[in-house]
Amino acid sequence: MTSSPLLLEKIPLFATVDVLVVGGGSAGCCAALAAAGEGAGAVLLIERYGFLGGTSTQMLDTFYGFFTPGEEPRKVVGGLPDTVVNALDAAGAVFLRPNTYGAGTGVNYNPERLKLVWDKLLATAGVRVLLHATLVAADQDAAGRIVGVVISTKSGFLRLNARRFIDASGDADLCHAAGVPLEKAGEREPAQTLTTTFRMSNVDLPAYAAAGGKRMLMERMAEAVERGAHGLPRKSGSLHEMNARGCISTVAVRVAEVDATDFEQLGAAEREGRRQAFVYEGFFRECVPGFGAANIVGLSHQIGVRETRRVYGEYRLTQEDCLSVARFDDRVLLCGAPIEDHRATKDGGAETVWGYVPGGQAYDVPYRTLVPRGRDELWVAGRCFSATHDAHASCRSMAQTMAMGQAAGTAAALSLTAKCGAREVSIPELQVRLRASGSTLEAPAQPAATGREEWAKNFPNN
Ligand SMILES: Cc1cc2nc3c(=O)[nH]c(=O)nc-3n(C[C@H](O)[C@H](O)[C@H](O)COP(=O)(O)OP(=O)(O)OC[C@H]3O[C@@H](n4cnc5c(N)ncnc54)[C@H](O)[C@@H]3O)c2cc1C
C-alpha cells in the first residue's frame, strides 16, 4: 500500500471532492456527517465492505462510553452520537444495558437496524458513499502532501482526488500508504487480543437468570477449564441479552498475538475464532442452564480487531492523562471509560486488565490527537488516533470514536472555510461549532438516569 506514480498514470479519475473520508465505521460515518453538516462542500466516504458501521455493525451491539462507570454515572458524550441513538430509538431498536462487566451503562441496539440508520443519516446529509471500495494507495505531490487516493473496486482501480482527507479506516491505511509515522500494536506492548463475536438464539433467559446468571456462568467456565473439558480457551467471557427475543451476544473468543495488518495472520485468526465459537456453543448447550436448546445463529462479519496502527499525532494521549483526569484547552471530547486491556497471558490464556479513571470522572481528549504530526490536509478519527497502547485501551469505545469523527469532520470543514491547514484550525471556533451541535465538552454536574428504559432522558435530540 504505497503510492506508485507509474500505476497512477493509468488509473481513471472517478471523482474530485472537498473532503474524502476513508472507512465507514462509527468514526468515519460521523466524520462525514459532520463535514457535510458544517458546509464542507462535496463529501465522499469510501468503505471496503457492502455496509456502513465498521465494528459497530460487523460484530457488536452495544455503544459504551456515553456514560462514566460507577454509582453516579455522568453522560459525557452528546452531539451526532445522540442523533444516531435517537434514530435507532425511532425504530424501536435500543435499550440501556446496566453496567454488568465494568465499562458502565451501555446503549444496546439492533446492529442490522443500525446499518440502515447509517445509510439514511449519510444520504440525508448529502454524503456520497462508495461501498465495496477499498483504499489501496495514496497519491502525493512533490512535497508529500496527499492529493488523492486509489481505490480497488469490482470496476477496477479508480482515483479519487480531494482537498482534505480523514483517515477513519481503523488501521490507519491512508496514513500508512502516505508514510505518516505510526506505532504498530505489538511493537512495544502486546497487541490486544482479537475476538469473533457470536450470537445464539432460543436461549431461555429467565432460566439462565434463575440459575445464577453471570456469577454462575463464570463458575461453570472456570470448572470446565479446570477439568480440561470442552477445550475452552479461557476461564472467562461475557454474554448479554440482545435486542431480539431469546437471543444473546458474546465477547468470549480470544485469539492472541496476531498482527492484524498481516493478511495471512488475520486469515489464520479468522479460522481460529470460528473454531473457538463452536467450542463455546458446545459448552453452553451442555453446561449452562437456559442454553440446552440454543445454538449459534451468527458469527461476526469478520474477527474483531481492537488495535493495529496508531499514528504519531501533534499530541499523544497517555495512560497518565487518563488516570490523572487531564485537562486540555483544545479538548474536543470527553472520555470516562476505563482502560480495558485484553491481553494474552504467559500460560497461553487471555485476561482483561482494568484501570479506572478516578472518582468516576472524565478526562479531556485534545484536538491534536486527531492531527498526524506535521500534516495540514489530513486528520485521523477512531481507533487509529494518536495515543499510547494504554490510553487507546480506554479511549476506543464507540461513543468516543463517534465524537472523534464529529470533531475531525467539523475541523476539516472549518479548515476549508478558513483556507487553513489542520494545525491552524481555530480551537475556540471549533469548540463553538461542536457545542452548537450538542457535543459535550464539560461533564454534567448531575448524574444520569440509567434504568433500562430511561435512555430517552439522556438523549436530548429525541
Ligand atoms: C471484539 C470487540 C469488542 C468491542 N466491544 C465494544 C463494545 O461493546 N462497545 C464499544 O463501545 N466498543 C467496543 N469495542 C471498541 C470499538 O468497537 C472500536 O474501537 C470502534 O468501533 C472503532 O471504530 P472506528 O470507526 O475507529 O473503526 P472501525 O469500526 O474498525 O471502522 C473502520 C472502517 O473502515 C473500513 N476500512 C478499513 N480499511 C479500509 C480500506 N483500506 N478502505 C476502505 N475502507 C476500509 C472498515 O471496513 C470499517 O468499516 C470493541 C472492539 C472489538 C474489536
Tell me: the pLDDT tens digits for 57-73? Answer: 999 999 999 999 988 89
419: left (phi > 0), else alpha (psi -120 to 50), else beta?
left
Tell me: the pLDDT tens digits for 182-201? Answer: 999 999 888 999 999 999 99
Q: Which atom of ligand 1 is nearest to the CA of 65?
A: 11
**Are the C-beta atoms of 60 and 396 separated by less than 8 Å?**
no
Q: In this model, does residue 4 exceed pLDDT 60?
A: no
pLDDT for the residue 235: 81
Tell me: the pLDDT tens digits for 344-374? Answer: 776 666 778 889 999 999 999 999 999 999 9
The x, y and z cell numbers of residue 43, run together, are 463529501
Q: Which residue has a Cα nearest atom 48 of ligand 1? A: 54
pLDDT for the residue 456: 64
The Cα–Cα gap between 185 and 294 comes to: 36
The Cα–Cα gap between 110 and 121 comes to: 16
Place of cell 453446561: 287
26-37 helix and 111-124 helix, angle to the nearest 10 degrees: 20
pTM exceeds 0.95: yes
369 CB less than 6 Å from ligand 1? Answer: no
- Segment 87-111 shows an average pLDDT of 88
Q: In this model, does residue 329 exceed pLDDT 90?
A: yes
Q: What sign does the CA torsion over 442, 444, 448, 454 have?
A: negative
With a CB cutoff of 8 Å and minimum separation 6, the contacts of 226 are none
Q: Would you give the DSSP letter of residue 455? A: G
pLDDT for the residue 462: 46
**Are the C-beta atoms of 38 and 413 separated by less than 8 Å?**
yes
How many angstroms does the Cα of residue 170 sit away from the middle of ligand 1? Answer: 6
Q: Which residue has a Cα nearest atom 39 of ligand 1? A: 169
User: In the structure, what pLDDT confidence band is assigned to residue 3 with cuts at 50, 70 and 90?
Assistant: low
**HSE-CB of 181 using CA atoms within 13 angstroms:** 12
171 CB less than 6 Å from ligand 1? Answer: yes
Residue from 1, 44, 47, 55 whose mutation best tests the ligand 1 pocket (most atoms within 8 A of CB): 55
How many angstroms does the Cα of residue 25 sit away from the middle of ligand 1? Answer: 6
